[in-house]
Amino acid sequence: MQTHFSTKLILKAGLLAGSLDIICAFVYSYIKRGTYPTTVLKFIAEKVFGEAAFTNTALQNITGLLIHFTIAMFWTFVFFKLYDKIKFMQSNTIITAILYGLFIWLMMNVVLLPAWDKKTFVFNAVPSIISAAILIVAIGLPLSIIARRHYRKS
């Protein structure tokens, strides 16, 4: 049985996943480096537009947040499209969360960011495991739970 997810559901799920993910990024960055959320947002904005692109710190932070949520919405949209097509995803919420979190980690860290930076991916165990765990818990798990609940109602 195929279900169709509403735009409203996808937006709410994306906002939740994006919020959980950025909060985890803020906490992890603070614990690891003692940096504040503005440093994380600055890093995101500079990754896309370069270091010299901003003279206004507030605009830079807002831009970083918008970029983050755009990426979170993209992965949310992909999740719901896949959920409709891959029956396995509908069978186990936890395994789906783990696999999707790992998929996002792989795509972002091994494919997209190295291509963006024109650098080769270098595996570093501890940060890789932590960032994968964050994606599993902050994005994979909420999306899996939301999709499962919606699917059961349909």
Q: Are 148 and 93 in contact (CB under 8 A)?
A: yes
Could you give the CA distance from residue 113 to residue 136 in angstroms, rounded to a whole number?
19
pTM for this one?
0.92
Q: What is the pLDDT of residues 36-82, one digit of tens each?
A: 999 999 999 999 998 888 899 999 999 999 999 999 999 999 999 99
**Is 51 domain-assigned?**
yes
Q: Which domain holds residue 26?
A: 7-153
Tell whether 2 is covered by a domain: no
Question: Tokens 């918008």 belong to which residue?
Answer: 66
Is 137 a member of any domain?
Answer: yes
- Find out whether 45 and 53 touch, Cβ atoms under 8 Å: yes
Residue 22 lies in a domain: yes
Does residue 125 belong to any structural domain of this protein?
Answer: yes
Task: Tell me the pLDDT tens digit for each residue of 120-139.
Answer: 999 999 999 999 999 999 99
- Is residue 40 within 8 Å of residue 29, measured between CB atoms? yes
Q: What is the count of structural domains for the chain? A: 1
